[in-house]
Structure formats: structure tokens, C-alpha cells
Chains A and B, each alone.
Chain A
Amino acid sequence: MTDEPLLRVSALSKFYGSRVGCENVTFDLWPGEVLAVVGESGSGKTTLLNCLSTRLLPSSGTASYRMRDGQFRELYRMSEAERRFLMRTDWGFVHQNPADGLRMTVSAGANVGERLMAVGDRHYGKIRATAVDWLSRVEIDEDRIDDEPRAFSGGMRQRLQIARNLVTGPRLVFMDEPTGGLDVSVQARLLDLLRGLVTDLGLAAIVVTHDLAVARLLSQRMMVMKDGRVVESGLTDRVLDDPRAPYTQLLVSSILQV
């Protein structure tokens, strides 16, 4: 393992007028590490994720990312062209609603192949072979490659979205409630798949979720947010088994026991 982090975030804040989106968030993310951001609705998780993925510009603070050449670049000082290039090569973004992350009117194969074509791949046969490979890795049958995602179930769409994001071999993936809206058995398979892919590919990931079970399964480290601030952070098992902040204790004790 390398001794340098992949992403360094320092005192990041985002205000919507006088309202706080997220405030004074500082952390490092290491290569291959999965960080879960948990908290209730409106706690600033998604604002933080959108700032980190440069979909939103923060009000203050910095975030620097270690590029493939080993140099740290400050995200908010990069040109839009560089940021968008980063977004479609070295990063992935998995939306809660697959329709936001997929092109619903083009086939599954083209959805997976789009990033390859965006970085200059111009060989149909190779693009298609890569698409077939990735569909099988996310457990979608090869004979569905020419179907539009509209014809897919919710779980399949989410898996397709993951394949579409991972096809360029990103090093960092942002996930916003990746299992939201799926029924539990589908959730379980998706989590299993994600865990396998993250380990196999050595991905670093920032997963926003309100589901503590998802955080437990996927992440090594977690941050608990409330009202835009980080109230507790640490190793996932430690935070969940021995919560210190009163809010975390409330959150952990609110899990329904079946």
C-alpha cells in the first residue's frame, strides 16, 4: 500500500444562503478504503458528496486528489474540462435513482460503452466485448445487452449503473444510497456484488447511506453527520458497537430488531 492518501479534504463547508449544507468537514481517504457517511435526512450527507464529486462548489475549504501521476491537484481549482475528464475516467458516481445515472433510451451495451467511447475507443468489436464482460461481472445476462434499461428491473438497473461507472477502471467511486428503494433480497445481492468488486479492484469509495447495515457491510470507516457537522468518525465496527456521541447512540439504538 502507498503511504499517501487518495483524497485530502480540509475544512469543507457549503452554505445555502444562511443555511448550513455541511460545515467544516475534514478527512483523508486512502486508496482501497471505503468510507461510509451516515446520518438522517437533511444532515448534509448528499451536499458533502456533491461537493466532493465537484457537482457542487463548496463555499469554503479545500479538497485535493492524488492524480494517477502521483501529484495532488486541488479539485476546485481545476478547469471544468479537467474535472469532467476526471469524472468520466478516474471517478464513478452511482446515483440512488439509476435513471439519473443511465441513459434510459440507449441499450445496456451502449450505456457501458459510453465512457470507453468518450475516452477515444473507436473499435466496435472491442467496446462490445468489454461491455459483455462487464455485464457478466454484474450478473446481467449477455442476451440483455441490446435491451434498453427501461426494460430492466430496479436491481438490474442499479447493477448496470455500477458496470457503466467501473468500465474505465476508476480509483474512486461516489455512491449515493446505492441500495435505496430496493427490496431486501435484491439489496443483499447488490451489497455482495459491490463488496466483491471493491475488494477485487482495490477501489476507494465514499458511500452515503442512512442504512447502518449497509455501512457495516461495505465500509471500513464511517462518519456520522448531524445538522451539517460530523459528530463522530472512526472505524465502522467501533462506531457501531461503541458509539460515543449521543446522536450516534440514538441512531444505533433506533435500528429495528427483527
Chain B
Amino acid sequence: MTDIATYNFAYLDEQTKRMIRRAILKGIAIPGYQVPFASREMPMPYGWGTGGVQVTASIIGPDDVLKVIDQGADDTTNAVSIRAFFKKVANVAVTTETAKASIIQTRHRIPEHPLSAGQILVYQVPIPEPLRFLEPRETETRKMHALEEYGLMHVKLYEDIAKHGRIATTYAYPVKVEGRYVMDPSPTPKFDNPKMHRSPALQLFGAGREKRIYAVPPFTDVVSLDFEDHPFEVQTFDQPCALCAAENVYLDEVILDDHGGHMFVCSDTDHCEKRRADGHRGHLAPETSETHSTPEKLEPAQ
């Protein structure tokens, strides 16, 4: 315990945590509504998950078990650093196993393993405002949310179909929460959108630079926007994971050499490792290897 004596538990001071918890409670009370909060400077740059870290810091307790993923992977810089941060400042247990975690902080993925009641998913959000690129004025977008004027969101989807013949938005796909607020699910692939619908886990969203917190309580309707004649659909993949042969999961493309060689592997490393431990083998899986071959992703969040 000596090395955390210089920090308050979970880094933030108690008043700040109370302020953030109030924002979270308000967010839960109004699903999908962006609650402004007094975002603090964190010991990391904006874009690396300052919002998610503040939300996690204010809800974490000594008995929590924390998992952190970055685009599905437990072993990338962002995930490793945030996990180490909370291990140091809150002395909590950490895990990479989805089922064992009580809090999962995520950047841009929802784990493949179904979440259960009592778990909390904390999203790192770069731009919380789904209307931002259509209407640059914050005063106007807040008014549009207040008056439920969401025609503009469909203008974007219309443009997609007119230009590409289908809805080409593949991530940060807008959703309507509990029939009221249109929400940006953070830049998760739209593949993950159906997992948000009536999820038993609590979902919290923190945007540090933009100073907004919003939430989706358990068992809340989350519906992806679409047109009657162009319904919402998720990405599909032609082949299963090259390492664990999983189907119906979200895959990353990994470049193998500079001659065009590539493979598709699970983006969720924990899910992939579990399956291989259970004896599933993809066509490129090494016979006796424990290492996961996803390369480290070093780029910051947008």
C-alpha cells in the first residue's frame, strides 16, 4: 500500500468523484442524454481515454475487478497503461477475462462474450455529439436534442445511400435510445450495435475533452437508425478467424508480409485465446503457440 499513499484512492479526489457520479446518475436517469461535467486534467493526453478513465475512477471500488480493452485487445499500449494505472492508484484486481470483470473500460469494441447483469461497460468517447459533422453549432445541436429534431441524422444516411448505394457508415453508427435521444455509440463498429440493445450490463460513456457523460441503463432499447427500404445491417466476414476459426465475430485484418499476405483474426483477443485454449484451431494457427499475433496498435484515439 505504500506506493499509493501519495494518491487518493483511484487518483481523483472525493469531491471530483462525487461530481462525476452525479453526472452519471443523471445520465442513467435520462438514457442517451449528454450530461455536461467538469472534466479534469488526467495524467494522459486527450484522445487516450481521459473521459473513460474519469468515469472508471469514480465508480471503481476496492473489490472491483477491472478489464481494459483497446479495439478489442487487452495487450495494446492504451489498455496496458490504463490497467497499470488503476492497479497502481486503486490497487484493484485486474483481469483480461470478460466474464470475471466487474468493470470493463473499452475503446471502440464491445466484448464478444455476452455481458451479464452487474457488469459495467465504460466507453472512451472522442466525439459524443452524433450531429456534430452535420451541424457545427453546439447551441443548435443541443436545441435539436431538446426538441427531438432528428431529421438531419437521416440526411446523413440518405447521403450514404445516394453516394454508395447502401448505408456506408460502419462505425459510430447513430442509435436511438429508449425511443428518445439519438446517441453516438462511440466509434465502435456497427457490428457491436445490436449488443447494446437491451443489454443486461450498465453502459457508461465518458468524453473527457468534450466534457460529456452519457449512459444506457440495463435493459434499455437501443435501435440503430435506418430507412424502411434500407434496413440496418451489420458487417459480415467471408472467412472465420484464422487463429480460432470463430464465426460471427468481428475480425481485424493483419498484414503478414509485404507481398499482399494477410489474415483475418478476432479483434477480441480474450475471446480468441479462450477458444484456442478450448481446442479450436483456425487454418493459420500455430500448432503449439501461446502468443497472439495481433500487432500492437500504437495510434491514439481520434
Contacts and interface: CB of A to CB of B under 8 A. Distances in A.
Contacts of A110: 155, 158-159, 162
A30 to B, nearest CB: 31
A57 to B, nearest CB: 16
B149 interface: yes
Interface string B213-232: 00000000000001111100
A107 B162 contact: yes
Contacts of B230: 124
Contact of B152 (A81, A114, A128): A114
B162 A114 contact: no
B113 interface: no
A80 B158 contact: no
B161 interface: yes
Interface residues of A, number: 23
B154 interface: yes
A240 to B, nearest CB: 41
Contact of A146 (B150, B151, B152, B162): B162
A37 B149 CA distance: 32
A42 to B, nearest CB: 28
B5 interface: no
Interface in A116-170: 117-119, 122-125, 127-128, 145-146
B149 A80 contact: no
B147 interface: yes
A124 B149 contact: no
A103 B155 contact: yes
A173 B143 CA distance: 24
B163 interface: yes
Contact of A117 (B143, B154, B163): B154
Contact of B228 (A109, A113, A115, A123): A123
Interface string A98-110: 0000010011011
Interface in A3-23: none
A125 B228 CA distance: 9
A117 B229 contact: no
Nearest to B161: A124
A230 to B, nearest CB: 34
Contacts of A81: 147
A117 B162 contact: no
Nearest to A79: B147
B131 to A, nearest CB: 12
A110 B160 CA distance: 10
A172 to B, nearest CB: 20
Nearest to B135: A103
Nearest to A124: B227
A114 B161 contact: no
A117 B151 contact: yes
Contacts of B229: 123-125
Interface string B233-244: 000000000000
Specify which of B149, B152, B158, B159 lies most central, judged by the most chain A CB atoms within 10 Å of its CB.
B158
A79 B155 CA distance: 26
Interface in A68-115: 80-81, 84, 88, 103, 106-107, 109-110, 113-115
Contacts of A127: 158
Contacts of B149: 84, 118
Contact of B158 (A84, A117, A119): A117
A84 B151 contact: no
Contacts of A145: 162
Contacts of A128: 162
Contacts of B227: 122-124
Contacts of A84: 147, 149
Contact of B154 (A88, A103, A109, A122): A122
A116 to B, nearest CB: 8
A37 to B, nearest CB: 28
Interface string B15-46: 00000000000000000000000000000000
Nearest to B146: A81
A146 B159 CA distance: 8
A123 B157 CA distance: 11
Contacts of A125: 229
A95 to B, nearest CB: 17
10 contacts: A84-B149, A88-B151, A107-B159, A107-B163, A118-B149, A119-B151, A123-B228, A125-B229, A127-B158, A145-B162
A-B residue pairs, 7 tightest by C-beta: A118-B151, A117-B154, A124-B227, A117-B151, A123-B228, A81-B147, A110-B158
Given A88-B151, A123-B228, 13 more contacts: A80-B143, A80-B147, A84-B149, A106-B155, A110-B155, A114-B152, A117-B154, A118-B149, A124-B229, A124-B230, A127-B158, A128-B162, A146-B163
